[in-house]
Structure 1
Amino acid sequence: MTNLALDLAPGFANAALESQAVFRACMNALARPARPLPLQTNLAPPAPLTPELAALALALADHEAPIWLDARLQAPAVRAFLTFHTGARLTEDPQEAAFALIADVAACPDLAHFAQGSDEYPDRSTTLLIALERLEPGRDFVFTGPGIKTDAGLVLAPLPAGFRQQLAANHAGFPCGVDVVLAAAGKIAGLPRSSQILGADKKVGVA
């Protein structure tokens, strides 16, 4: 047995219950866009993979859902952790990925570089799982659309250059486009392609 196998960090203690809980949290976040919701996990994955990204990957990915990792997550321990606990194949092609894990937000590729789906099969697109340091209600990014009763706003940091324009372009291609799940310590927020980004001066309401 290799040292890497001996040092492999454990996955969910109760795979069925914990994966279901994380899956429901993710679906709720996408159904109620731009609202930070709690995501609790006891995972301790290898750095720089965050517990929240690890939990989402373990709950969502499987052998039929290839994962794309950004450069920061290419560490052998991270790759081994994800492939062992999810059974997913790692791909170097963002167009092939069902899920993309982003730890270095500043270097995140443009959203358009990932699989966009098609009018016939919009579900054949990439879902981006992005780790942030700051994720909270605010007025930096304001959204409207399905699942948002009035307007929903977020403060997000750090972000890649032009992220606001990327989100606008992503929505413009609906029903094609990617879905985004943002994750910070103990919380997540969903930004599905159906959500439209508004001007920063738009008043944030309460859903």
Structure 2
Amino acid sequence: MTPHSQIYAGAFADPVFAAQSVFRSLMDSFARPGSLGRLPASALPPSPLGNASGAVALTLCDHDTPVWLSPALTKSAVPQWIAFHTGAGIAEAKDEARFAFVEKGAAVPGFDQFALGTQEYPDRSTTLVVEVEALTGGAPLVARGPGIKTETVVAPIGLPDVFLDFWAANRAIFPHGIDLILTAEDAVLCLPRTAKLERE
């Protein structure tokens, strides 16, 4: 497949039904932080954007949601793919983005570089979508907070060493802060800014 043809292929086969079903899965995962959600519809975006991250983009992005992409994604066919299928424009500055995407293995920017919302509109923040190697099998982290009965353990593989520092600083400025979607293969793990994370 040529780079040009990659732009037009790889979207949902049934866009309306697929986007609705993926949206429900994402909302369920945010309502139960730390739980693994399987996405019921798949996307095949251009490399290096992962399939689950592509499905999230197709579902959540539109012409009103500027998107920031990591340097490798920016240099690929991904910006044109997102623009063609969702209408979303690319934000040059991180703090202008409603959604930000980082591919597997790439450096994750500090969360405070993104839009953190305002006192009046804390929801006007960036949702960060990060693909990791796997959502299970890593160093265990204990999650507590709204939507979690007592506590739950999450163990993604591929988070940066400074992730807990990033997350603690993010949670400290609540109600401001980013929300995080981790993706791997066809699954997601959602962490709203209300979740508290500690090493097990």
TM normalised by structure 2 equals 0.93
1:166 aligns with 2:153: no
What is the CA–CA distance in structure 2 between the aligned matches of 1:140 and 1:62, rounded to whole Å? 35
Indicate if the aligned counterparts of 1:106 and 1:161 stay in contact, CA closer than 8 A.
no
What does residue 186 of structure 1 align with?
186
Q: Which amino acid aligns with 1:193?
A: R
Indicate if the aligned counterparts of 1:168 and 1:196 stay in contact, CA closer than 8 A.
yes
What does residue 60 of structure 1 align with?
60
What does residue 177 of structure 1 align with?
177
What does residue 93 of structure 1 align with?
93
Indicate if the aligned counterparts of 1:8 and 1:77 stay in contact, CA closer than 8 A.
no
What is the CA–CA distance in structure 2 between the aligned matches of 1:71 and 1:101, rounded to whole Å? 10
| Bigger mean CA deviation after superposition, 56-65 or 3-12 | 3-12
What does residue 73 of structure 2 align with?
73
Q: Which secondary structure does the structure 2 equivalent of 1:181 belong to?
A: strand
What is the CA–CA distance in structure 2 between the aligned matches of 1:155 and 1:180, rounded to whole Å? 15
Indicate if the aligned counterparts of 1:72 and 1:104 stay in contact, CA closer than 8 A.
no
1:41 deviation in Å?
2.8
What is the CA–CA distance in structure 2 between the aligned matches of 1:7 and 1:93, rounded to whole Å? 23
What is the CA–CA distance in structure 2 between the aligned matches of 1:165 and 1:144, rounded to whole Å? 16
Identity %: 40
Q: Which amino acid aligns with 1:117?
A: G
| Bigger mean CA deviation after superposition, 173-182 or 70-79 | 70-79
What does residue 132 of structure 1 align with?
132
Q: Which amino acid aligns with 2:77?
A: A
Indicate if the aligned counterparts of 1:57 and 1:82 stay in contact, CA closer than 8 A.
yes
Q: Any idea what the Cα deviations from partners look like across 1:6-26, whole Å, max 9, x if unmatched?
A: 863231111110001111111
TM normalised by structure 1 equals 0.90
Q: Which secondary structure does the structure 1 equivalent of 2:120 belong to?
A: coil
Question: Per residue, is there more strand in 1 or in 2?
Answer: 1
What does residue 109 of structure 2 align with?
109
Indicate if the aligned counterparts of 1:41 and 1:51 stay in contact, CA closer than 8 A.
no
| Bigger mean CA deviation after superposition, 132-141 or 178-187 | 132-141
Unaligned runs of 5+ in 1: 202-207
What is the CA–CA distance in structure 1 between the aligned matches of 2:160 and 2:187, rounded to whole Å? 20
1:106 deviation in Å?
4.4
Is the alpha carbon distance of 1:106 and 1:4 closer, same or farther for their aligned partners in structure 2, counting shifts above 3 Å? closer
What does residue 38 of structure 1 align with?
38
Count of aligned pairs between the two proteins: 199
Q: Any idea what the Cα deviations from partners look like across 1:71-113, whole Å, max 9, x if unmatched?
A: 1211342111111001000011100000000104441100111
Q: Which secondary structure does the structure 1 equivalent of 2:140 belong to?
A: strand
What is the CA–CA distance in structure 2 between the aligned matches of 1:3 and 1:195, rounded to whole Å? 40
What is the CA–CA distance in structure 2 between the aligned matches of 1:12 and 1:40, rounded to whole Å? 11
